[in-house]
Amino acid sequence: MVSVISFFILAFIFNRGILAKDPVHILYLTDCTRYSDWQAVGMDFSFRNSGQKGHITRVMCCTDEEKAAYNHGMLELMPSHVAPSFAYNEKTKDHYAAFNKPGAVLDFMRKGQPLADYMLVIDSDMQLRHPFRPDKYNMSRGKAISADYTYMIGCSNELAVRHIPEIAVRNDTLAGPWNRRCDMVGGYTFMHRDDLAAVAPLWLSITVDVREDPESWRLSGDQYVEKGGKAWISEMYGYSFACAKSGVWHTWDTKVMHYPTYEPDGIPKLMHYGLEFKVGDFEFDKHWQYELDVTICAPWNLSQVKSRKGGLFEHPPAPSTLNNQRNYRKHYRDLLAIETVATLNAGLCDYHLKHCPPHQQIVDECKTALSIYKEVKAEIAKVEASFDCNDLNVKCSIWASSGECESNKEYMEETCRKSCKKCGPVSKQQGLHPPEQILGPATVGYMKNLVEMERKLKDNEATDPDTKASSSPPIIPQNTAAPKDDSIVITQKQEGGDSLDPDANPRVEDTSGAKAGSEEKLKVHKSDKSNDKALSSPPIIPQNTATTQDDSAVTKQKQEGGASLDPDATAKGGDASDTKMEAEVKLKAEHSEKQNEEVMDQEVEAEKAKAIKVKAEQDAKIKEEIMKEEAKRRGLAQARAEILKSSKISASGRNSNAQLVVRCQRMPLTLEEVKECIKKAQKGVEFQKEWKSSVPEIKNELRVEDQAVLIPVIANVVDDESSPEVSAKLSTTHNDPHQSTKPMWKPLFLWLLVVVFFLMVLSFQFKRRSKPDRRSE
């Protein structure tokens, strides 16, 4: 009886977290797709390097069909909890993928086991950079930390009144404006596990209510919802309303979560790569990689940047190529973006090095990925040491002098470290981060596995009899035409996308017999070096370089063992004399040497052909540039010639009576010609004045540099008596050289002056006439 009571007491104590020494348990929310698998690989790698104390559980929402087809070997990547899919609500007939977030948390809190007092809930497209520590935030029940989402205007308008009218308005600005009824938060959640257990069921039910609210489209602040539609951010309101009803209130931490290429305000703990981002010419978007299957081993087709089927992502630029080192904020911004993709590639390499057979492509790609990852981590450590010793707000010195460094210690230590004297010299900061700590334990394991795979490739190349035999041309068909059955099975799995992990279970739950058979095949493949070599790399490259060594090895084995390993000798019975064997070896060596010479000649010819091709391309490029310049020059000349050959009046203008009248007024015509032109214009007919200029007269009006090009063209136009259309166009375009070029307003003005003078004189004469009965002077 006492033992039973003791058992229940211990279970209660453990459930309340008294024995849970680790401070944080991370719930990493995903689904059962390949798209989420590669994100989970990146998250696992970042978690092991972050220094976070505690546990992480991947909570996966899967339908029955997805669960049956899922590669169960991926469940071993990290501790996993498989929950049902909540995306479709039977009651409301609503399909909403975001239902899975509160549903996953609810399922884990009811069926799983929290292993720490404080829970951190994050999304699948996140990476953990630095640890979360509850003591830093002075955490307690009823208090939570999250990111700011100020577009959640429904916390301060009618939407909150419609769903949580019983909640009094807040009189603080810790997570939103004054008089709000809920907190404007999202992204991640950091709270006590008892609070999360109380919030989870309300989170799901209120999300359903907000989705069904006919006014949510208008009140939620969702910019993408159409009139009468259902707001996509309903889940965020479901969480915030549920926290308000449960008495859990948040404090914003605007520095914890960061989006790549956004300018950071502090040192982020989480990277959220949900949006497309660019660094120089490099760009990355997670939505390009729905088809990438992390379980596909090399060889990979990496020719496409988007929609890759397997392997790694495009390598980001090395930090040394950035040109903004002087601006440490922008430099840090770009480094964080590079680190995001470098971490994903490092995680993928870490997985392939553990679960795939040796292959040269894995070694080559993962060496590049490791180099970029190490460089960016080292550069970030330097920048963060400097970043740590700067004030991030212009008022830091004022706040520090007023005692805020002690009264608001949490905020000031992150924002005003310099004013609060919380940072030492950069060298001291760097001394706290040795290379192993900067890279993390996961990277150390990655480096060891990379060295081990490279060693295996070299050992197999040097010692594997099949590889040596394949270097001789007559023996190639023997190895390539008859591979073993196990090699065929593995190759099909490799191309089909299933896992090559020897410890991984098959995608579909098999019977015990099928499972045993699969394990036996994988076991045979693991012990068969020839099959590993068939998968590791194409045997063409080492053939020519290892020929001499292979022949000497065959001779040595014959001398020591007394039996030749040469397939040709074995086919003859293996009883040839030593003299005959030496002759065959010598003949074979001569043949191999001759073949090597032919290969070298071919390489020389290839280099010559390549040089000729490069020169031809350069010549073609130069010729193309010359042709472009010539075409440009000719185009200019042709354009100037066209000015002399065609009218500037458009077709629409010709059909307009008003345009034709204006044209009559602008043309240098006599009075009779103007009258005739206006009459035709009123009828919609264009007046044409026939005139003809001589070449010398036109030549005088041209620029010197245009004469060589335009004079021949003009001469042809002027001398062409059989082309009335050209003559008509010229008549409507150019002034008659025989007409006066003086402006018309001058004679008109003079004529007006004469008239005015005449009127003045006449008026004066009338004024001085004598009147009747008046005596004149």
Task: Reply yes or no on whether the pLDDT at 370 is more than 60.
Answer: yes
Q: Is pLDDT at 33 greater than 80 in this prediction? A: yes
Q: Which carries the bigger pLDDT value, residue 698 or residue 440?
A: 440
Q: Is 275 left (phi over 0), alpha (psi -120 to 50) or beta?
A: beta
Of the listed ranges 379-383, 433-437, 486-490, 738-742, the least confidently predicted one is 486-490
Of residues 580 and 331, more confidence is placed in 331
pLDDT band at 633 (very low <50, low <70, confident <90, very high): low
Burial (Cβ within 10 Å: 0-12, 13-18, ≥19) of residue 107: buried
pLDDT at 590: 58
Q: Where are the strands (E) in 182-336, listed by range? A: 185-192, 249-252, 257-258, 270-272, 277-279, 282-284
CATH architecture assigned to 13-254: Alpha-Beta Complex (3.90)
Confidence at residue 465, expressed as pLDDT on a 0 to 100 scale: 56
- Mean pLDDT, the chain, whole residue set: 74
- At 668-701, the pLDDT tens digits run 777 777 778 887 877 777 777 665 444 454 445 4
Interval 494-511: pLDDT, tens? 433 433 343 333 333 333
Residue 354 to residue 344: CA distance in whole angstroms:
16
The whole-number average pLDDT for the span 653-679 is: 70
Q: What is the mean pLDDT of residues 14-26?
A: 61
Confidence of residue 260 (pLDDT cuts 50, 70, 90): very high
Q: Identify which of 8-12, 85-89, 652-656 has the greatest average pLDDT.
A: 85-89
Beta carbons of 479 and 45 less than 8 angstroms apart: no
Q: So what's the pLDDT on residue 107?
A: 98
pLDDT digits (tens, 9 = 90+) for 495-552: 334 333 433 333 333 333 333 333 333 333 333 333 333 333 333 233 333 333 333 3
Split at pLDDT 50, 70, 90, the class of 742 is low
**CA pair distance 526, 501, nearest whole angstrom:** 10
Which own/partner contact pairs does 422-425 have at CB distance under 8 Å and 24+ positions apart? 423/388, 423/389, 424/389
- Which of the two residues, 431 and 615, has the higher pLDDT score? 615
Query: pTM for the full model?
Result: 0.58
Span of 93-107, 276-290, 541-555, 738-752 with lowest mean pLDDT: 541-555
List Cβ neighbours of 241 (8 Å cut-off, separation of 6 or more): 160, 163, 164, 182, 202, 206, 210
Domain coordinates of the chain in residue numbers?
A: 13-254, 277-389+429-461, 390-423
Higher per-residue pLDDT: 223 or 473: 223
CA R_g for the chain? 43
Tens of pLDDT, residue by residue over 282-330, are: 999 999 999 999 999 999 999 999 999 999 999 999 999 998 777 878 9
